[in-house]
Amino acid sequence: MTLLYRALLYLYPASWRAEYGSEMRSVFASRQRDAGGFFGLLALWMEAIPDMIGNAVAVQFDLFRQDVRQALRSLRRSPGFLLTAIAIAAIGIGATTAAFTMVDHVLIRPLPFPHQGQLVVLRENDLQGMGRFWDVSPSNYRDWKRMSRSFESMGAYRGLSVNMTGTQSEPLNIQGGSFTADILPTLGVKPLIGRVFTADDDRDGAPRTVILSYGLWQQLFAGDTSIVGRTIRLDNLPYNVIGVMPASFYFPTREARLWTPMQFPPDVFEDRTNTYIYGLARLKAGVSLEQAQAEMRTIGAQLARAYSKELEHVGISVTLLRDEVSDRTRMMLQVLLGAALCVLLIACLNLANLLTARAMVRRRELAVRTALGAGRERLVRQMLTESVILAIPGGMLGLAIAYAALPMLVRLVPNYLPIAEIPTLDARVLLFALALTVVTGIAFGIIPAVRAGDNTATELREGGRSGGGRREHFRAALVVAEVAFSIALLVGFGLLTRALWRIQAVDPGFRADHVLTLRTSLPMPRYEKTETREPFYRRVLDETRRLPGVTGAAYISFLPMVMGGGIWPVEIAGHPESLANRRTASMRFVTPGYFAAMGIPLFEGRDVREADSNTAPYVAIVSKSFVARYWKNEDPIGRHINFGMHDRTVIGVVGDTRVRGPERNPEPQVYVSWRQPDDVTTWYAPKDLVVRTTGDPYALVSSLRRIIHSADSDLPISDVQTMTEVVDQQTAARRTQLGVLGLFGAIAVLLAAVGIHGLLAFAVSSRTQEIGIRIALGARRADIFNMTVGEGLKLAVAGILGGLVLAYAVGRLLQSLLAGVAPLDAATLSVAVLVALIMTLAGSLLPAMRAVRVDPTVAMRAE
Amino acid sequence: MKHPDLPEPETLLPLQPATFHILLALGAGDRHGYAIIQDVARRTHNQLRLGAGTLYRSLQRMLEQGLIIEIAEPEETDRDDERRRYYRITAYGESVARAEARRLTELVKLARASGFAPERA
């Protein structure tokens, strides 16, 4: 029983316990003795427990208030220290909070769908090639849905791109999604107004319906609720608006702004290799992802047996919707968070250093207070209160920094996720910042505080003169750690910079400069036939080529890098491959002149011609890697391939382009005539115009707009950009990340320099007399200077050695982002070391100069 | 006899009930903690039973305020268990207790005038 009472006593501060602990125990013992009987004891405890707890809280609070008052008084006396410390804490906390918010937003925070952990994406995957995923064919989707038992519901979706006309504004090209009726209920979202799709909307030939996004509704219809029931024109067809989704709804990507029902005409089920949709399903309650994967494996195997010709080696992948984040994005964000933590650590080291120095200056004051009976615990507590008090405005300022910085980081949020572009600072983030603030305050306060409690008695005896050597060592160790971590940051920044340079130096396969591109999405079915498309292309291209400065113009179905897909299986006579083993190539429909306009070299044969029409023999131009794959030492010209559902003759060989961007190896490319076949779908009809000019590409925009509008005034013009911008976008996320890392590195270096400066300045001022004596005894000023700088260098070298070990670890961690740059890249390491040395010199210069200027007579008179 | 640094007694009013009761208990003589609890309980007919936490928190504050002092254990105590702390009311403590009593008396007078309290029997 008394044990419990003893335990309750631990709720009180140690100083209180020392003072009153035994008293309280003895009082309690007496009361226990006098209580008499079981019920008396019970009553006593009923009284004692709230009494103990309530008063413990009150005592702690009293002490805290007292500490805060004292801390504020003492901090007010040194405003320079106060501001420096707050600024450093703010930088560390701000950087970490911003990085955490991004990581939380992209990787951790649940998607904005109820029970999002049950949502899975279904795809076909290649059981032979590791990690290759494909879209799903409607027939497979239909069978999966029929055969599976793991899912509460399943739907199909795909991306959509339509032209909207008939509103007050110019024709618009709008991205959206095409959903079966199950998709929205599966996601668990309800419309803001109106209704969602029903099975009736899915029927082939049902009246056309559309649901608008909140953003589009606001933009085009000013949030008019009478929009439901009205008709809008998409691709020149009337669609009945049936609903508007809430502002927070994004699917399948952030760009989606309207949704139409997906209808399957009966004939799409005939071809199991016609893959163009994705499956989305919700796991039944109690069914795990693994169980669903196992079931789908079985179903995949059954289908593969039933349709071995098409589906051999085709499996089914089931992945959580939440995990649809690429490894690269994940890695980029983790690097960001790691670097931010590094900055926070350096900030904490720096603050610990500052506080230690301050404690040394105040050591007499602290010693006196100890002598007056403030126990060591009280002292530690007092100093911790002070550091937490410093951290709180630091944390608030840091939160403001994070808030301001978030919009600069949006490029790190992939646009393929169904989440908002800019993360919100929600309660979780605020809580994180608060926790970070407290932890930071304790982290940088604890060591100086504990050390301040040590050997205070000797301080009084020895007086204020002797410079506690042990503490100098301790502070030196802090500075060495700061240098080491800044080296690690610098090397990480350096390696990623080299990687970026290497990626930017990758030859895209085309000459990006002086090329303007824009998109004119041709609405179907109006432009379904070549007869209607051809006059349009001819008119636009002819007039464009006549513009001054224009040296080439052509249309292509998809620009390289803007669209990486469009991958089709290749069949080649003499290379028997089963359907399932087929190798693939990217297919692009082009008009004549594309290679010249893009600056893609034509090595052999010829370009497509106007004469390569639907009635002429079908032709294909292949890239060099295609030739290397099939006809290593043979002449490819005149050979036949079966590609894009037609037999085609190879008529030319061109250079390879980086269709999938500079960091990914592209499939070989096959270019086919825009007129072969006659009836390509919206998706494959050439819509991207490329124009090469001798002047400023943007100077062409107004002329091009005029030309296109005179050809078809209903046609929206979108995605106006130069090819240089297209290429630059490939590295946008990396450049953002590097910008942040560079900033972090600069902060780290600055803080480390401040740390070195602080340490040396303190050493010099506490050794003024010694230096004075040395000078009086004939030491040259240069020796004094060298001695001080040398001390800084010693710290720097120790830090650099530690930093290089850290840097190697960092390099290994970053390897997958390095694009082949070695983790121990000599140039990067040398630059980082050089920066560290310069920083050391900069940090030790002022103290060294002060040391040199010590006047021996003044220094010795002070004795 | 008031220490020049101590504030006027009236500035400490009104006193916490526990504080006032402790002052009353100590007014009758020096006491240790448990004796104070017993004394208060007796005077209030068991209406107020101070817990150890409340008692020592009050004592600590009263020490700081200069209402009481800690004194050496009287020689004659023959307890066998550990040393106990004894407390004594200071002159300042007495004047504060008197001030509080005056304040309460005034209050009762006011209550009586409004008919909320019985006339003196």
* Closest to A385 in 3D by CA, of A92, A77, A73, A90: A73
Which amino acid is present at B109? K
Instruction: Determine, yes or no, domain membership for B118.
Output: no
Cβ-nearest to B81 among A26, A50, A53: A26
Instruction: Determine, yes or no, domain membership for B39.
Output: yes
Instruction: Determine, yes or no, domain membership for B8.
Output: no
Asked if B53 reaches chain A (Cβ–Cβ under 8 Å), the answer is yes
DSSP tag of A829: H
In chain A, pLDDT over 90 holds for what percent of residues? 22
Whether residue A465 is predicted with pLDDT greater than 50 in this model: the reply is no
The answer to whether the bond into A252 is cis (omega within 30° of 0) is: yes
- Reported as a single tens digit per residue, the pLDDT across A752-790 is 888 888 888 878 877 788 888 888 888 888 888 888 888
**Counted domains in chain B:** 1
Whether residue A480 is predicted with pLDDT greater than 60 in this model: the reply is yes
Alpha helices per DSSP H over A587-671: 594-598, 624-630
At residue B88 the predicted structure's pLDDT band, cuts being 50, 70 and 90, is very high
Chain A residues close to B82, C-beta within 8 Å: 22, 26
At residue A296 the predicted structure's pLDDT band, cuts being 50, 70 and 90, is very high
Whether residue A86 is predicted with pLDDT greater than 90 in this model: the reply is no
Q: What is the pLDDT of residue A452?
A: 63
Q: Is B86 helix (H, G, I), strand (E, B) or coil?
A: strand
**A282 or A308, which is more confident:** A282
Instruction: Determine, yes or no, domain membership for B5.
Output: no
Q: What is the pLDDT of residue A75?
A: 81
Asked if B112 reaches chain A (Cβ–Cβ under 8 Å), the answer is no
What CATH number does the domain containing B33 carry?
A: 1.10.10.10
Q: What is the pLDDT of residue A148?
A: 92
- Residues A826-858: b if buried by 16+ CB within 10 A, e if exposed: eebbebbbebbbebbbebbbebbebbbebebee
Asked if B81 reaches chain A (Cβ–Cβ under 8 Å), the answer is yes
At residue A144 the predicted structure's pLDDT band, cuts being 50, 70 and 90, is very high
The pTM score is 0.73
Asked if A27 reaches chain B (Cβ–Cβ under 8 Å), the answer is yes
Whether residue A811 is predicted with pLDDT greater than 80 in this model: the reply is yes
Cβ-nearest to A30 among B34, B57, B85: B34
Residue whose token pair is 């002429």: A616
Asked if A22 reaches chain B (Cβ–Cβ under 8 Å), the answer is yes
Asked if A20 reaches chain B (Cβ–Cβ under 8 Å), the answer is yes
Alpha helices per DSSP H over A267-326: 289-306, 308-311
- Reported as a single tens digit per residue, the pLDDT across A612-649 is 888 889 999 999 999 988 888 888 899 888 887 788 99
- Reported as a single tens digit per residue, the pLDDT across B12-58 is 889 989 999 999 999 988 988 889 999 999 989 888 888 888 999 99
Whether residue A466 is predicted with pLDDT greater than 50 in this model: the reply is no
Q: Which domain holds residue B42?
A: 15-74+81-113
Are A614 and A530 in contact by the 8 Å Cβ rule? The answer is yes
| Residue from B34, B38, B81 whose CB has the most chain A CBs within 10 Å, to mutate | B34
At residue A464 the predicted structure's pLDDT band, cuts being 50, 70 and 90, is very low
Domain residue limits, chain A: 2-77, 79-114+326-466, 129-312, 483-507+728-863, 522-715
Output the average pLDDT for chain A.
84
Instruction: Determine, yes or no, domain membership for B97.
Output: yes
The backbone torsions φ and ψ at residue B111, rounded to the nearest 5 degrees and listed phi first, read: -65, -40
Between chains, do A52 and B55 touch, taking CB under 8 Å as contact? no
Instruction: Determine, yes or no, domain membership for B61.
Output: yes
Whether residue A750 is predicted with pLDDT greater than 60 in this model: the reply is yes
Instruction: Determine, yes or no, domain membership for B44.
Output: yes
- Reported as a single tens digit per residue, the pLDDT across A583-611 is 788 889 999 999 999 999 999 999 999 88
Whether residue A453 is predicted with pLDDT greater than 80 in this model: the reply is no
Are A402 and A423 in contact by the 8 Å Cβ rule? The answer is no
* Beta carbon pairs, A and B, within 8 Å: 54
Q: Which residue of A has its CA nearest to B33?
A: A27
